[in-house]
Structure 1
Amino acid sequence: MKYILLIWEPDTDWQSAPKEHLDAALAEHGAFTRYLDGRGIEWSGGALSGQDTATTLRPGPDGPVPTDGPFIELKEGIGGYYVIDVPDHVTAVEVARHCPISSATEVRPIWG
């Protein structure tokens, strides 16, 4: 069964972040992906651009209306994600405990 791990964190401009900060974050995620590979867990994932690059579609009288930014104003947003294929929710949560965490990691089954 596939699960998504949504990585919640403060919005960070990684292109302007100090190199040491970026290198440390990338090293944590590298260690996590090696953990997944070592357990034979099929995965995909990625980092997301900042919240200011988002476009949200909201219902309008003539159909969806695009607006700039995330759906609601947040101090934190989804900064990245992993999709993992594991047998059950218990395993997904156990695997997520190894994922680098800034503010929170949300674990959800992918429907269907």
Structure 2
Amino acid sequence: MKYILLLWEPDTDWQALPKERLDAALAEHTAFIRYLDERGIPWTGGALSAQDTATTLRPGPDGPVVTDGPFIELKEGIGGYYTIEVPDHATALEVAAHCPMASATEVRPIWG
């Protein structure tokens, strides 16, 4: 079964951080990827750009309404994700516990 791990974190301009802080954060994700690979867990993933780069579509009376920015103003948002393929929810939670965590990691089955 496939699950998505949504990585909630404070909105951060990673390109503006000191190199040491960026390198430390990337090293955590490198270690998590190594963990997935060593367990033979199929995965994909990626980091997302800052929230202010988002464009949101909402239903409107004459079709979709497009707005710039995040769909609601947040101090934290989804900063990245991994999709994993594991046998069950318990294994997904076990794997997610090894994922670098800033504010929270949301584990959700992928429907279909």
Into which bin does the TM-score normalised by the smaller protein fall? Answer: over 0.9
Q: Secondary structure at the match of 2:77?
A: strand
- What is the CA-CA distance between 1:17 and the residue it aligns to? 0.8
Q: How many residues align?
A: 112
Distance 2:20 2:110 in 1: 35
Distance 1:70 1:87 in 2: 33
The match for 2:107 is: 107
The match for 1:54 is: 54
Q: Secondary structure at the match of 2:15?
A: coil
Distance 1:79 1:21 in 2: 16
TM-score w.r.t. the length of structure 2 is 0.99
Distance 1:73 1:16 in 2: 21
After TM superposition, which residue ranges in structure 1, 4 or more long, deviate above 6 angstroms?
A: none
Deviations 1:38-78 (A, max 9, x none): 00000000000000000000111110011011111111000
**Pairing of 1:52-91 with structure 2 (within 5 A):** 52-91=52-91
Distance 1:18 1:57 in 2: 34
* C-alpha RMSD over aligned residues: 0.4
| Identity between Structure 1 and Structure 2 (%) | 84
Q: Tell me whether 56-65 or 94-103 shows the greater mean CA deviation.
A: 56-65
**Stretches of structure 1 lacking an aligned partner (at least 5 in a row):** none
Q: Secondary structure at the match of 1:15?
A: helix
